[in-house]
Amino acid sequence: MYEQYLIEFKQQDELLAMDPVKLDTWHKNINEIIEHNSNSENSWKKGINSFTDMTFEEFASFYIMAPQADCSATEGSSKALFEIEEQDLDMPAGWDWRDHKGVTPVKNQGHCGSCWTFSTVGTLEAHIMIKYGEFRNISEQQLVDCAQAFDNHGCNGGLPSHAFNYIMYNGGITDESHYPYTAKDGACGYFPNNKTAEVDGGPINITRGDEDELKAAVYMHGPVSVAFQVIKGFKEYHSGVYQSDECGTLPTQVNHAVVAVGYGVENDVPYWIVKNSWSATWGDQGYFKIARGVNMCGIA
């Protein structure tokens, strides 16, 4: 098992030689990766990445937002647009918007709990791609700096549903070239003349816990903003269908917003295909699979 890590292990040992605390963390995480991957019952694999020299607490302080008090999902039925029985739809067993020119490049949120902005922008970019066939590189930083009146908190977290409402009531959002990302809170500097995209009519909420409705929404309309709870171990995700019996399932426990871009089945386990915001070098080229149909880690 150790052979696959020898090169990375030696290189990282040399890089961390001057920091014994980091080096100790690196060794502990490597051993946890090897132990996890040695268990054939696990449906997913861990791997070395840029977070392997961090404790989970250190990682969470940079990349995970505080759980939000509100939830975007609705308690009852959502709009009639999604009130369709799954058996009435001719939906394929698997669907991936990456194969249908409906997903834009993976980005990197950096040391800022701004995942809610990347979830919002990633979803909006995807729908623009599907509708117009073009990539508009929309600004996350505008949301970080300008959406506080909609109960969002920049690098300390927020809700994509509130961000969509901000874009709608603000009359639009600009692109990265006019408002580049800095991974830190700043003063709002949006100029309406630089508008790149709009949101018309506000967000449509999926019924809480209804993953059939979520599946229909993803297939029929495009990628959907979702959130779940990141716990220890997930930061080293590499491949397979992520499952955990330790994460929470309540809407008040989710702490990371992402984008559902498809679904499928692997080894008889249904899963969601999810776009993350920790760079394309993390996970499976910036994506991960998570179990579907069981509200895994609060994804529904």
The catalytic site residues sit at: 115, 256, 276
Spatial separation of the C-alpha atoms in residues 207 and 226, rounded to whole Å? 12
The label of the residue with tokens 């080894």 reads 267
Closest by CA position to 114, among listed 172, 208, 174, 186: 186
Count other C-beta atoms under 10 Å from residue 147's C-beta: 26
Instruction: Give the closest residue to 263 by CA, choosing from 115, 99, 121.
Output: 99
Query: Residue 77, class by beta-carbon neighbours within 10 Å (0-12 exposed, 13-18 middle, 19+ buried)?
Result: exposed
**With contact defined as beta carbons under 8 Å apart, do 270 and 296 qualify?**
no
- DSSP per position, 65-125: PPPPSS-SSBSS---GGG---GGGS---S-EEGGGGT--PPP-B--SSS-HHHHHHHHHHH
